[in-house]
């Protein structure tokens, strides 16, 4: 392999911001009585390390680990094959490596030794076990590690890291504003991509290409629902259906720039929509407005649900059963908290979130609206360009 | 929520193919002494269920589970919010649902009850614990489930399912040929997207858009390495570098159609490449050829490594330390087996794989070639359009 040369690409957010993230994590570790945390997931590992590892997220062959102790320098336990990519994109210099693939031992002995060297106060190390954790190591290896690290206890740190990530820095908000702007512009120009009779599959291909060419990195998520007078699905891929006069459709997309997501949808009518569809749209537009206004520090995610639900119910509709009306947003398409009655997460200034009311109407139709915002004392500050007051009408 | 109407989109591969997959899994369960398997991952769940759930793979909030017993009908344990999408795209009718998000109990009680109803012969149920498993449930919930299901033992079924998936049906091979064709054509037309001075980031954006517009569903993976006379990284994203005269670069992409991947790269020179780069290219072209010829049933993945390594070493180069020279290919970007000396997986007719030799040359340069193929008695049958015999030269 080529000799490793010095780093070309500077850490995306600057050394100080990564250091600040680590310090916040350490304060949370002290509170949670943890001597260290180990993160492996796509949102969490680069959040602290700044490492960009496309292969890590798409190929399940090799695991990647970052150990952040409460005291002392962070340690990366990664495959040799990723050394160059790590050194080029991460500020963390303590690498401990092994030759992978090696299913018999994918770095577990190095991890156990690393844990053993950490000053032991609480005898507990946090791993991503809890809600929303999707590991980049196998569950079997995690269970083996749990046995190997005894007497050190494996505790959960999922929510600890999620809460840190909930509040964004200026640079992170700029990332999210950038991708929200790109996608907002593409939605506004969708009429140029549309022609009557185009299939839902072709339309979403064109829109994805357009979003890329406007500067996005990826569009991991794009779904479309369509039907005469309205759609009945809010989270399904295209089915090859032709879009024609009388249809109402919605496209929802999670697109990414610099590993930060936008997540919002827009509604379109092919030709003039029915009064029934327009009334549903108007109600959801106002419910969204109520959600945006309520996005102030001190309010809870349950308050965001209630603000949206009130408008929907006051207009004579039932609240939908998707289970929530928006959520946190950041390095994953969806993040905690959930805007639902039993989630009492207190909103914090500079947290970023989605407002996402939906309702059922007509004969088996559903409709959804969504915007992305930053929580501020004056209410939500939009990252997206607000959906038009009336539904976009495409030429039939 | 709208009432569920009958399925619109037929199961992609037809009922008989899904049934055949289930029957093969059952034979493997009998051999492995398992009463059932539970799968949750993006490649494994739809492999059996045919369900298309874009939200499940991008949002980590809600888990999705499929239980396939050795006797009796498969059972899906999924959130209510996904009922419509499931019924529209899956042939499996036994749905057991709960209101999610509910971090306190994301369907675990339903799973434990489902396991309890399964006729108990071996007292073991297989879960995705082993190599290459990336779950769509949290590790904490998996550990809780392991306790809840006692006395039934949780065993590993990762390799069992991977081995089933290694060999492809005609329909699966057609999927892979389709996406390999699309990407091959886009690589061949890359000179139309290139102009001297374009950044690596802009070039891969354009190429991704082109691949989409040619009919691909997604390009989850695209990396580019570039440098004067050659590149030094084979798995890193763009860094904003301008591509200019004297550069050699490679682009490697994993693109997807109908949830099946292609995974291969191509090399380009901006202006005439050096003799050194041309000799490296020639060596890898011949190493690839040797790998393709060796891709016969009965040979092992270690044999594929040896065939490629011999050409590289006979030409006076050292074998690279990426750890392998190709791998299985299918519903993940990379799948077992690995073409490496200690992987003695026996190749089977109609398995699909990559051949991927690489070598170090010059001052800190590396080069990689890659093709995708089907294993046949006459050697590998290419899914990709073979890379040109000499490096593509772009106008400087």
The percentage of chain B sitting over the pLDDT mark of 90, rounded to a whole number, equals 91
Q: CA A124 from chain center: how many Å?
A: 28
**CB contacts, 8 Å: B333 with chain A:** 58-59
Do B215 and B358 fall into the same domain?
A: yes
Closest among B226, B172, B218, B240 to B366, alpha carbons compared: B226
Q: In which residue are the tokens 């489902």 written?
A: B114
Shortest Cα–Cα distance, A220 to chain B (Å)? 7
Check CB contact of A8 with chain B, cutoff 8 Å: yes
Q: What is the mean pLDDT of residues B183-190?
A: 98
Q: What is the mean pLDDT of residues B36-42?
A: 97
Q: Which domain-ending residue is among B135, B165, B195?
A: B165
Give the domain extent around B375.
Answer: 167-394
Do A185 and A142 fall into the same domain?
A: no
Q: Is the pTM of this model over 0.80?
A: yes
pLDDT surpassing 60 at residue B258: yes
pLDDT of residue B7: 47
**CB contacts, 8 Å: A80 with chain B:** 321, 323
Q: Which domain-ending residue is among A103, A134, A165?
A: A165
Within 10 A of B378 (CB to CB), how many other CB atoms are there? 9
Largest CA distance in chain B: 69
CB contact under 8 A, A366 and B1: yes
Report yes or no on A127 lying in a domain.
Answer: yes
Supply φ then ψ for residue A312, to 5 degrees.
Answer: -65, -45
pLDDT of residue B245: 97
Check CB contact of A358 with chain B, cutoff 8 Å: no
Do B91 and B146 fall into the same domain?
A: yes
Listed as ranges, residues in chain A with pLDDT below 70 are: 1-11
pLDDT in tens, A351-378: 999 999 999 999 889 999 999 999 999 9
Closest among A109, A94, A107 to A149, alpha carbons compared: A109
| Count of domains observed in chain B | 2
pLDDT in tens, B96-106: 999 999 999 99
CA terminus-to-terminus distance, chain A: 59
pLDDT of residue B11: 57
Report yes or no on B286 lying in a domain.
Answer: yes
Do B145 and B231 fall into the same domain?
A: no
pLDDT of residue B12: 75
Check CB contact of B199 with chain A, cutoff 8 Å: no
Q: CA A104 from chain center: how many Å?
A: 33
Report yes or no on B3 lying in a domain.
Answer: no
Do A161 and A174 fall into the same domain?
A: no
Report yes or no on B6 lying in a domain.
Answer: no
- B193 vs B268: CA distance, rounded Å: 13
Residue A235 has its nearest CB partner, among B54, B128, B134, at B54
Do B264 and B115 fall into the same domain?
A: no
Q: In which residue are the tokens 């991947």 written?
A: B261
Shortest Cα–Cα distance, B323 to chain A (Å)? 6
Which of A139, A199, A216 should one mutate to test binding to chain B, selecting the residue with the greatest count of B CBs within 10 A? A139
Do B200 and B230 fall into the same domain?
A: yes
Report yes or no on B315 lying in a domain.
Answer: yes
Check CB contact of A346 with chain B, cutoff 8 Å: no
Q: CA A322 from chain center: how many Å?
A: 18
Cβ–Cβ under 8 Å, residues B236 and B254: no
**CB contacts, 8 Å: B82 with chain A:** 235
pLDDT of residue A11: 56
pLDDT of residue A279: 98
pLDDT of residue A1: 35
- A266 vs A269: CA distance, rounded Å: 10
- Helix or strand (DSSP H, E) at A152: none
Q: Which domain-ending residue is among B138, B165, B192?
A: B165
**CB contacts, 8 Å: B8 with chain A:** 239, 241
Closest-CA residue of chain B to A156 = B140
- A276 vs A272: CA distance, rounded Å: 12
Tell me whether 0.85 is exceeded by the ipTM.
yes
- A387 vs B20: CA distance, rounded Å: 47
Report yes or no on A5 lying in a domain.
Answer: no
Both tokens of A269, joined, read 């009518």
Lowest mean pLDDT among B53-57, B63-67, B321-325: B321-325
- Helix or strand (DSSP H, E) at A93: none
Q: Is the peptide bond before A101 cis (omega within 30 degrees of 0)?
A: yes
- B45 vs A254: CA distance, rounded Å: 22
B residues 264..303 contacting A (CB < 8 A): none
Sign for the pseudo-dihedral over CA of B137, B141, B142, B145: negative
pLDDT in tens, B305-317: 999 999 999 999 9
Do B317 and B281 fall into the same domain?
A: yes
- B277 vs B270: CA distance, rounded Å: 12
Do B182 and B218 fall into the same domain?
A: yes
Angle at the Cα of B327 (from B323 to B331), degrees rounded to 5?
Answer: 135
Give B1's pLDDT tier (boundaries 50, 70, 90). Answer: very low
Sequence-ordered alpha helix ranges (H) in chain B: 15-32, 44-49, 54-58, 83-89, 108-117, 139-148, 158-166, 170-188, 190-193, 200-213, 275-294, 301-314
- A97 vs A100: CA distance, rounded Å: 9
pLDDT in tens, A178-217: 999 999 999 999 999 999 999 999 999 999 999 999 999 9
CATH of the domain at B110: 3.40.350.10
CB contact under 8 A, A218 and B213: no
- Pairing type for strands A95-98 and A75-79 reads parallel
Do B160 and B290 fall into the same domain?
A: no
Sequence-ordered alpha helix ranges (H) in B218-328: 275-294, 301-314
pLDDT of residue B151: 96
- Helix or strand (DSSP H, E) at A364: none
* Length of chain A as a residue count: 396
- A381 vs A345: CA distance, rounded Å: 19
pLDDT of residue A135: 87
CATH of the domain at B303: 3.90.230.10
pLDDT in tens, B116-139: 999 999 999 999 999 999 988 999
Do B211 and B173 fall into the same domain?
A: yes
CB contact under 8 A, A55 and B320: no
Shortest Cα–Cα distance, B99 to chain A (Å)? 7
Closest-CA residue of chain A to B129 = A140
CB contact under 8 A, B208 and A212: yes
Report yes or no on A10 lying in a domain.
Answer: no
Eight-class DSSP state of B152: S
pLDDT of residue A272: 96
CB contact under 8 A, A2 and B365: yes
Do A155 and A199 fall into the same domain?
A: no
Report yes or no on A28 lying in a domain.
Answer: yes
């Amino acid at each position: 392999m080529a000799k490793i040369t010095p780093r070309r690409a500077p850490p995306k957010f600057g050394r100080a911001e990564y250091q600040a993230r680590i310090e916040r994590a350490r304060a949370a570790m002290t509170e949670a009585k943890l001597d260290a945390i180990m993160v492996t997931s796509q949102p969490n590992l680069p959040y602290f390390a700044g490492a960009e590892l496309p292969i890590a997220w798409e190929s399940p062959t090799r695991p990647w680990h970052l150990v952040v102790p409460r005291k002392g320098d962070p340690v990366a336990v990664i495959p040799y094959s990723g050394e160059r990519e790590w050194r080029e994109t991460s500020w963390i210099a303590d690498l401990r490596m092994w030759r992978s693939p090696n299913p018999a031992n994918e770095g577990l002995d190095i991890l156990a030794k690393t844990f053993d060297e950490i000053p032991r106060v609480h005898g507990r190390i946090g791993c991503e076990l809890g809600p929303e954790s999707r590991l980049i190591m196998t569950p079997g290896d995690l269970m083996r590690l749990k046995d190997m690290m005894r007497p050190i206890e494996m505790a959960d740190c999922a929510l600890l890291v999620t809460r840190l990530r909930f509040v964004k820095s200026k640079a992170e908000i700029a990332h999210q504003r950038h991708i929200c702007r790109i996608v907002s512009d593409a939605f506004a120009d969708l009429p140029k991509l549309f022609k009557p009779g185009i299939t839902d599959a072709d339309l979403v291909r064109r829109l994805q290409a357009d979003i890329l060419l406007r500067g996005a990195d990826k569009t991991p998520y794009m779904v479309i629902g369509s039907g005469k007078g309205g759609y009945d699905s809010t989270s399904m891929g295209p089915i090859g259906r032709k879009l024609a006069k009388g249809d109402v459709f919605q496209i929802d997309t999670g697109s990414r720039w610099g590993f930060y997501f936008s997540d919002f949808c827009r509604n379109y009518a092919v030709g003039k929509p029915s009064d029934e569809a327009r009334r549903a749209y108007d109600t959801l537009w106002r419910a969204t407005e109520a959600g945006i206004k309520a996005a102030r520090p001190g309010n809870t995610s349950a308050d965001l649900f209630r603000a949206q639900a009130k408008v929907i119910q006051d207009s004579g509709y039932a609240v939908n059963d998707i289970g929530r009306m928006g959520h946190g947003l950041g390095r994953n398409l969806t993040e905690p908290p959930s805007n639902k009655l039993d989630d009492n997460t207190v909103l914090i200034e500079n947290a970023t979130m989605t407002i996402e009311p939906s309702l059922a109407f007509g004969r088996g139709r559903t409709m959804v609206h969504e915007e992305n915002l930053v929580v501020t004392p004056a209410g939500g500050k939009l990252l997206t360009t607000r959906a038009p007051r009336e539904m976009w009408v495409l030429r039939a």
